Structure 1
Amino acid sequence: MPTLEPINVSRLYRMIASQIKEKIRSGSYRTGERLPAERELAEMLAVSRPSVREALIALEIEGWVDVRVGSGVYVTGPQSRLASSAGPMAAPALLDMGAADLLQARLLVEPHCAELAARHATPDQIGQMQEAALALPGSEQPFRHNDRLHLLIAEASGNAALASTVQHLWALGERSAIFNKLNQHFVYGQVWEQAHNEHLPLLRALQKHQPAAARRAMRDHLLGISRRLGLDASEDREM
């Protein structure tokens, strides 16, 4: 009887990372040398810039490059303990959870949660959301208030399965090496200000019990996050 081989579905950013890694191994890109800019790499590989960005972040986590925001991406070679001790495919469990995948999943779930929350949230839940949203500006730990707001909205949806799904997606984000590295590079004070400004129309829609407006505001906010991280979380993005 003929047998079938398992299919290995490789994410596009990992395929891009593999090509760049081979160029570093072969000496085409030498240690200390700056790689071509994201735009150039995207043109050379005929892929999108967001896919290139995820690949570069994956390579940084493995120790092949050093991403210096505002300066460029520099070759370091496999010199980190992670890359040198575990080989070229180090920490696949961390790298497989791409940031764009996470944001795309959140775009599929959280706007619907916001719509339901606008229908079902109690005055006490609305008050807690307002407290979380207004505590973010100027906070030394803005991520805590941001996380709390999103989870409160999920809980207020009235659907325990959806709320649990959102909690799981946030837990995956906390464990995603790529997502955390992107936040480290690109999330700072001004970015939190932009996030707060996006929270305000969402909060107003929830307070006024406007489901369609709440759904739209949450979607706009998540797309804003995607743009700030240089990612593409749309449904028709490159995979």
Structure 2
Amino acid sequence: MSNVRIAIVTGAARGIGAAVAKRLAADGFAVAVLDLDEPAAKLVAEAIETSGGHALAVGVDISDESGVKAAVQRIGEELGEPTVLVNNAGIIRDNLLFKMSVDDWDAVMNVHLRGSFLMSREVQAYMTKSGWGRIVNLSSTSALGNKGQANYASAKAGLQGFTKTLALELGKFGVTVNAIAPGFIETEMTAATAQRMGVPFEEFKNARAAQIPVARTGVPNDIAHAVSFFVSEDAGFVSGQVLYVAGGPRA
């Protein structure tokens, strides 16, 4: 495994995270599949291994400092020293401002912002030591504003500032930091949103597709492809950027 680079993907048990983990494994990375749901993460790791890749499932709450330290240390010992980090883990607690609880606000901030901070701070030590690294943060088109998502939109906008700052700090060590802002992607999370609104998912998707210039909704592999580019060897002169993968300028 000495010549294989190690990638960490958070929130990788399903949806975008699982697609990213599988894509990076196909690209030749050994992948640490991190998720709060360790049994589900193990299924993704097993799928990667079955396809000929190398993976390790790790259950962790990325908002917990000691948990993050332990998880990254375990990855370094069992899989290898990580030099690629994809901060994908996320949750939603949607509500209009006057209905939003402090717990709803804090939960979203803790996973998206605190979690990305803790993971990046822990993994950057390996990157700077090796003189090469890639961090990709998952933002969202919601960063531009989205009714009912004051917490989520703020967190996703915050990740863009976080991305640009880390790009400035870590560039001299051979580390690039970029963000991807997905538009509507077909995942369990968006299906749950449709269910909460009382709309069949197909109907929900069709309504969204009608507003998207490329006339379709996105799928997790659309995001995985963009991550694959950002973490590639040849993307070393691309840093501090936010790529909207949304089927148009805003969708």
The bucket for the TM-score relative to the shorter chain is under 0.3
TM-score for both structures, normalised by structure 2: 0.27
* Structure possessing the higher relative contact order (Cα contacts under 8 Å, 6 or more residues apart): 1
Which structure has more helix as a fraction of its residues? 1
Which structure has more strand as a fraction of its residues? 2
TM-score for both structures, normalised by structure 1: 0.27
